[in-house]
């Protein structure tokens, strides 16, 4: 296939093309943060944000299930540049209000185009541009049949890592036999009535721990059905040092920064303890649950995981509301395996039939690579699983593209901001040197480096990642070619990245006869 110029891309469909220097995909926590950094560090760089939804917020806009809240504290999940002054574990409404203030205070709204779903993105070496096609959606999220096209010097992927509004639900036998509604938490209907009804929530992670106590406030009873237990941490929904500093009338910017640093220090210490003394951490976590539920509760069965702490995400339960609901009898936990659904509920491997009027599947999500966009280079399909990921944000052989993927064991936003600062520095470097494109490449000394799956299963192994491993890029054996979980080191390493290092391949003009593998 021959390379195509901008004019040829446009004439193919006779659709006008709008040019923008930076095209951001996604108006969630990453995309809004990216816009803030561009406004500060690249004030002369034009950018547009495209989002498929009809408002900003990403997860906090699309998720509508009862009790939705953060499972990271907002002192670190919030931005470094805007103090968070509410409870550390915040509701979706509170987070959206905070993000709305960032957008308004920094004049970001004019840059956002809602109901624009990106379908295709093709890098053309002939003109060193991304050619992007997006569908215009209606108020219900349906394709109107209208498309728009853009060219962009740089593509900034801030779309998140899973399919919004489409959760992952295993196929269980007999699901069609159940007479009540079966609802996934990511596909929550506005008219679901569960007041006074028996509810079964399938799942044991942060979402289940949020939904169960929220639904238990009005349901007749809520049962959390899990195949295996999960680790939980509990605590007051407040940060003592923040409260103390406010009593002393310390400026909120200082409160925010001091609190962030304290939380990060404690998170790092806890994570290291999980690896160095996992049995000690396990005893402490499970001991806390025993204290909450009392000596007669079967904690060994329902709240004692078989894996090492932090091999999967540890959900924080503010004010222990899940465990209070269990202790008060409004909720319960069943640990068993599903044989099949029945008319009246779920038949379990133990032989018990768990009765239900409503079944909620809090069973995770479907991960997608780069927003399910059809990526090509010079018209040929781009397979990200055949690339190597540079510092978890760029890909070998893929020019002028950055990807935001946050931390597993710390707040997503911490890494999103590190990436944003780096991208701005890189964009300014491209302008200063006159280079048209940049992409990472293995150095000659690294050509024989062993390439491994994107994440080490022994380190972190949630099911959503394992199901998607074949679509994710490869990692190398050195930190530069890995998505690390070490915020403290990355906070020092990212600003010190040498943009003249041979790992970055720059081009100053068109290149011929290049295509994706």
pLDDT band at 512 (very low <50, low <70, confident <90, very high): very low
Contacts of 419 (CB under 8 A, 6+ apart): 393, 402, 404, 494
In angstroms, the CA 73 to CA 339 distance is: 38
In angstroms, the CA 470 to CA 476 distance is: 16
Q: Look-up: residue for tokens 């993000």? A: 99
State mean pLDDT over 307-319.
89
Bridge pairing between strands 17-25 and 315-318: unpaired
At residue 167, the pLDDT reads: 84
In angstroms, the CA 474 to CA 339 distance is: 37
pLDDT band at 352 (very low <50, low <70, confident <90, very high): very high
Contacts of 281 (CB under 8 A, 6+ apart): 270, 273, 274, 309
Lowest mean pLDDT among 160-164, 167-171, 411-415: 160-164
DSSP conformation letters of 175-189: GGG-SS-EEEGGG--
In angstroms, the CA 284 to CA 393 distance is: 36
In angstroms, the CA 79 to CA 68 distance is: 20
Dihedral Cα 302, 69, 184, 337, nearest 10 deg = -10
State mean pLDDT over 423-449.
97
Percent pLDDT > 90 in the chain is 82
Helix axes 29-41, 412-433, angle to 10 degrees: 40
Answer yes or no: are the C-beta atoms of 397 and 390 closer than 8 Å: no
pLDDT band at 515 (very low <50, low <70, confident <90, very high): very low
Q: Mapped to the 3 state alphabet, what secondary structure does 274-300 carry?
A: HHHCHHHHHHHHHHHHHHHHCCCCCHH
At residue 514, the pLDDT reads: 38
At residue 427, the pLDDT reads: 98
In angstroms, the CA 35 to CA 41 distance is: 10
| 3-class SS of residue 273 | helix
Residue 356: name the closest of 511, 175, 160, 214 by CA: 175
Answer yes or no: are the C-beta atoms of 174 and 342 closer than 8 Å: yes
Bridge pairing between strands 394-395 and 389-390: antiparallel
State mean pLDDT over 121-129.
97
In angstroms, the CA 269 to CA 451 distance is: 30
At residue 367, the pLDDT reads: 83
At residue 89, the pLDDT reads: 95
pLDDT band at 356 (very low <50, low <70, confident <90, very high): very high
Lowest mean pLDDT among 5-14, 209-218, 484-493: 5-14
Contacts of 490 (CB under 8 A, 6+ apart): 391, 415, 418, 484
User: How many residues are listed for the chain in this entry?
Assistant: 517
Answer yes or no: are the C-beta atoms of 147 and 133 closer than 8 Å: yes
| 3-class SS of residue 367 | strand
At residue 80, the pLDDT reads: 97
Cα dist from 168 to 264, 292, 407, 443, whole Å: 31, 31, 21, 39
Residue 280: name the closest of 310, 301, 302 by CA: 310
**pLDDT tens-digit map of 163-209:** 877 788 889 999 999 999 999 999 999 899 999 999 999 999 899 99
Domains 6-164+367-507 and 169-363 share a fold: yes
pLDDT band at 2 (very low <50, low <70, confident <90, very high): very low
What rounded mean pLDDT belongs to the chain? 92
pLDDT at 370 over 60: yes
Q: Look-up: residue for tokens 């909120």? A: 252
In the chain, domain spans: 6-164+367-507, 169-363
At residue 15, the pLDDT reads: 74
Domain 6-164+367-507 architecture: 3-Layer(bba) Sandwich (3.50)
Percent pLDDT > 70 in the chain is 96
Q: Which one is the CATH code of 169-363: 3.50.50.60, 3.40.50.720, 3.30.565.10, 3.40.640.10?
A: 3.50.50.60
Contacts of 71 (CB under 8 A, 6+ apart): 89, 206, 210, 313, 315, 316
**pLDDT tens-digit map of 3-55:** 445 445 544 556 789 999 999 999 999 999 999 999 999 999 999 999 999 99
| 3-class SS of residue 33 | helix
In angstroms, the CA 409 to CA 420 distance is: 20
Q: How far is CA 322 from the centre of its chain?
A: 24
Contacts of 446 (CB under 8 A, 6+ apart): 476, 478, 481
**What backbone torsions phi and psi does residue 171 show, to the nearest 5 degrees?**
-90, 105
pLDDT at 497 over 80: yes
**What backbone torsions phi and psi does residue 394 show, to the nearest 5 degrees?**
-135, 165
In angstroms, the CA 478 to CA 452 distance is: 11
At residue 40, the pLDDT reads: 98
Strands (DSSP E) along 397-485, which ranges?
A: 401-403, 437-440
**What backbone torsions phi and psi does residue 476 show, to the nearest 5 degrees?**
-100, -165
**What backbone torsions phi and psi does residue 202 show, to the nearest 5 degrees?**
-90, 120
């Amino acid at each position: 296939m021959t390379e195509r110029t901008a004019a040829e891309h446009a004439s193919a469909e006779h659709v006008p093309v709008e040019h923008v220097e930076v095209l951001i995909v996604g108006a969630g926590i990453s995309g809004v943060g990216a816009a803030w950094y561009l406004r500060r560090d690249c004030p002369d760089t034009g950018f547009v944000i495209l989002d498929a939804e009809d408002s900003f917020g990403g997860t906090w806009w699309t998720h509508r299930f009862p009790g939705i809240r953060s499972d990271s504290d907002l002192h670190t999940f919030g931005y470094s540049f805007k103090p968070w002054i509410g409870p550390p574990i915040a509701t979706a409404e509170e987070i959206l209000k905070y993000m709305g203030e960032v957008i308004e205070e920094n004049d970001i709204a004019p840059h956002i185009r809602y109901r624009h779903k990106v379908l295709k993105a093709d890098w053309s070496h002939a003109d060193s541009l991304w050619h992007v096609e997006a569908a215009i959606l209606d108020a219900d999220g349906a394709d109107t049949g209208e498309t728009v096209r853009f060219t962009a010097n740089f593509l900034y992927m801030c779309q998140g890592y899973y399919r919004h509004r489409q959760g992952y639900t295993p196929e269980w036998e007999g699901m069609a036999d159940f007479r009540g509604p079966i609802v996934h938490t990511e596909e929550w209907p506005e008219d679901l009535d569960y007041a006074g009804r028996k509810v079964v929530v399938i799942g044991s992670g942060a979402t289940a721990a949020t939904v169960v106590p929220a639904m238990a406030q009005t349901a007749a009873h809520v049962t959390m059905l899990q195949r295996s237990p999960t680790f939980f941490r509990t605590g007051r929904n407040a940060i003592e040092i923040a409260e103390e500093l406010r009593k002393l009338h310390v400026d909120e910017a200082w409160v925010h920064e001091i609190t962030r640093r304290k939380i990060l220090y404690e998170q790092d210490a806890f994570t290291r303890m999980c690896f160095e003394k996992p049995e000690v951490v396990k005893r402490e976590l499970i001991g806390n649950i025993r204290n909450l539920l009392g000596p007669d509760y079967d904690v060994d069965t329902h709240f004692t995981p078989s894996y090492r702490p932090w091999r999967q995400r540890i959900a924080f339960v503010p004010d222990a509301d899940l465990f209070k609901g269990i202790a008060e009898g409004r909720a319960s936990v069943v640990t068993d395996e599903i044989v099949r659904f029945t008319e009246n509920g779920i038949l379990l491997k133990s032989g018990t039939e768990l009765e239900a009027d409503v079944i909620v599947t809090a069973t995770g999500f479907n991960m997608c690579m780069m927003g399910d966009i059809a990526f090509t280079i010079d018209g040929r399909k781009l397979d990200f699983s055949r690339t190597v990921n540079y510092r978890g944000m760029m890909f070998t052989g893929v020019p002028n593209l950055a990807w935001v993927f946050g931390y597993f064991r710390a707040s997503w936003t911490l890494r999103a901001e590190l990436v944003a600062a780096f991208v701005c520095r890189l964009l300014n470097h491209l302008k200063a040197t006159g280079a048209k494109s940049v992409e990472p490449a293995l150095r000659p000394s690294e050509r024989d480096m062993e390439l491994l799956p994107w994440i080490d299963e022994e380190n972190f192994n949630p099911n959503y990642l394992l199901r998607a491993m074949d679509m994710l890029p490869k990692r190398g054996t050195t930190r530069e070619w890995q998505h690390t979980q070490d915020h403290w080191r990355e906070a020092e390493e990212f600003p010190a990245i040498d943009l003249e290092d041979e790992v970055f391949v720059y081009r100053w003009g068109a290149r011929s006869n290049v295509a994706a593998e």
